[in-house]
């Protein structure tokens, strides 16, 4: 091979490479990235009201092929407190919604939103046999696999006979908020103190002045729970999948404020269901047929307990403390068969006494 031929080969190779690269640039410039916006927000409107917002929004390019779907999960001090979902359906490019919930002072609220695009696939062979196509490798949200789940018919005039809807999980956004009384000026919670005073209209004034532990115990605002559901979920018209040009999600992730919050969370996370639920609003009424009043005072008074004798000889006791001054909420004192003391709360759960 002569030098001249080598030279020509090199020149051709360079030109081909350059042409391919230029073509790639042109293709990239003409392809519009499909954008998906996912957002979680939680706003502590007051010490007693929290509002969340979850949304998955598609731009029009993505909306040409997909629906949007979002699921929102609200946690209060690590416990699931509310949830809901929304779908864009066929006539919108945004799946969004909110939850308004009563809040308690000194609590941590976290909203987590799972964001999805919804795609429908259908394929019929020349003989009219429908097949499922999964070019993006999505999994089934509900079953983890299968071909007929979520299948809905459409057409026959406008398209294939069969379609399967799938949810493409994009990611989860999450953000936390704290009800204001949890935070002192130095950001610490460990030595927080609080005073609670009722305004008589369901609202409360709070001056921080009591042990932080008690702040977490104060949750009587949960009684008037109102849950706003997300708009109803509908599955939209069938659409076919497209080449994925790139999806981006806006993610919100907030960190815990500090170790003090974590410590309070650990206490609150020890809440467990009371074996007897909420014993009742009247301390003079026995929690059950097996309970007898033992004490110097009349039933329901501060001097005495409701006692249950178990066949194994171990006693349990319940003592009503339904007029406990703020910041601690009305509760029952419960001694379990093992001798451990608990506070029983109106929602039927209990936390260990300090």
Partner 1 sequence: MPLTMRTLSSLFTRATRGAVLVFTVSALLTVQLPGQTQEGGAVSKRMLYRHFLAHVALLDADTKPISTLDSRRPIDLYPSRVGLPAAKFSQVRAIARHLDAAIRAKDEQAREVIRRFRLSIANQQTSGGQLPPPPPELGDLQRQRDQLIQNCLDLLAAQLGPTDAARLDTFVEQVFAPKARVQRVAIPRSYDPGTNPLPPLERQDK
Q: Which of residues 184-213 bind partner 1 (CB under 8 A)?
A: 201-203
Closest approach of partner 1 to the CB of residue 131, in Å:
5
Q: Is 147 in the site for partner 1 (CB under 8 A)?
A: yes
Helix (H) or strand (E) holding 19: helix 3-30
Q: Give the N- to C-terminal CA distance of the chain in Å, as an integer.
A: 91
Q: Among 348, 353, 314, 312, which residue's Cα sits nearest to residue 333?
A: 353
Rounded to 10 degrees, the C-alpha dihedral 189/190/193/196 comes to 60
Tokens of 265: 């969370």
Q: By CB under 8 A, which span of 57-65, 267-275, 308-316, 337-345 interacts with partner 1? A: 57-65
Closest approach of partner 1 to the CB of residue 234, in Å:
15
In terms of CB distance, is 53 or 293 closer to partner 1?
53
Q: Which phi and psi (to 5°) does residue 30 adopt?
A: -85, -20
Subset of 217-276 contacting partner 1 (CB under 8 A): 224, 226, 228, 237-244, 246-254
Neighbours of 335 (CB within 10 A): 17
How far is residue 219's CA from residue 211's CA, in Å, rounded to a whole number? 15
Closest approach of partner 1 to the CB of residue 240, in Å:
6
Subset of 76-115 contacting partner 1 (CB under 8 A): 91-94, 96-98, 100, 102
Q: Is 214 in the site for partner 1 (CB under 8 A)?
A: no
Task: Print the binding letters for residues 325-344 with partner 1: x by CB under 8 A, - otherwise.
Answer: --------------------
Of the candidate residues 158, 186, 289, 338, the single one contacting partner 1 (CB under 8 A): 158
Closest approach of partner 1 to the CB of residue 11, in Å:
6
Closest approach of partner 1 to the CB of residue 286, in Å:
29
In terms of CB distance, is 49 or 317 closer to partner 1?
49
Closest approach of partner 1 to the CB of residue 255, in Å:
8
Tokens of 346: 């109106």
How far is residue 60's CA from residue 50's CA, in Å, rounded to a whole number? 32
In terms of CB distance, is 111 or 215 closer to partner 1?
111
Compute CA distances 342 → 67, 321, 347, whole Å: 49, 12, 14
Task: Print the binding letters for residues 5-34 with partner 1: x by CB under 8 A, - otherwise.
Answer: -xx--xx-xx--xx--xx-xx--xx-xxx-
Residues 6+ apart with CB under 8 A from 52: 40, 41, 42, 43, 72, 74, 82, 98, 99, 100, 101, 109, 111
Q: Among 125, 128, 131, which residue's Cα sits nearest to residue 163?
A: 131
- By DSSP bridging, strand 151-153 and strand 292-294 are unpaired
How far is residue 51's CA from residue 97's CA, in Å, rounded to a whole number? 10
In terms of CB distance, is 145 or 311 closer to partner 1?
145
Closest approach of partner 1 to the CB of residue 189, in Å:
19
Subset of 306-325 contacting partner 1 (CB under 8 A): none
Closest approach of partner 1 to the CB of residue 122, in Å:
8
């Amino acid at each position: 091979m002569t030098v001249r031929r080598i030279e020509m080969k090199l020149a051709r190779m360079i030109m081909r490479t350059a042409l391919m690269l230029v073509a790639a640039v042109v293709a990239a410039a003409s392809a519009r990235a499909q954008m998906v916006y996912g957002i979680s927000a939680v706003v502590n409107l007051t010490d007693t009201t929290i509002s969340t917002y979850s949304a998955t929004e598609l731009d029009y390019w993505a909306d040409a092929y997909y629906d949007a779907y979002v699921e929102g999960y609200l946690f209060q001090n690590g416990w699931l407190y509310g949830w809901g979902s929304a779908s864009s359906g066929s006539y919108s490019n945004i799946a969004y919604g909110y939850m308004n919930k009563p809040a308690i002072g000194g609590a941590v609220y976290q909203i987590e939103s799972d964001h999805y695009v919804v795609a429908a696939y259908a394929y019929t062979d020349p003989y009219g046999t429908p097949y499922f196509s999964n070019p993006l490798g999505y999994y089934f949200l509900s079953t983890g696999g299968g071909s007929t789940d979520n299948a809905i018919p459409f057409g026959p005039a406008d398209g294939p006979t069969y379609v399967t809807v799938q949810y493409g999980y994009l990611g989860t956004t999450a953000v936390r908020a704290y009800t204001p009384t949890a935070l002192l000026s130095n950001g610490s919670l460990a030595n927080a103190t609080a005073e609670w005073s009722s305004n008589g209209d369901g609202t409360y004034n709070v001056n921080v002045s009591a042990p932080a532990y008690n702040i977490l115990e104060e949750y009587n605002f949960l009684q008037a729970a109102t849950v706003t559901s997300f708009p109803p979920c509908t599955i939209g018209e069938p659409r076919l999948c497209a080449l994925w040009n790139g999806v981006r999600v806006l993610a919100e992730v907030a960190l815990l404020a500090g170790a003090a919050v974590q410590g309070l969370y650990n206490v609150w996370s020890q809440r467990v269901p009371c074996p007897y639920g909420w014993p009742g609003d009247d301390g003079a009424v026995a929690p059950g047929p097996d309970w007898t009043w033992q004490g110097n005072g009349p039933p329901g008074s501060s001097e005495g307990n409701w006692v249950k004798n178990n066949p194994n000889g171990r006693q349990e006791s319940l003592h009503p403390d339904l007029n406990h001054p703020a910041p601690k909420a009305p509760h029952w004192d419960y001694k379990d068969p093992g001798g451990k003391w608990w506070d029983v709360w109106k929602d039927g759960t209990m936390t260990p006494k300090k």
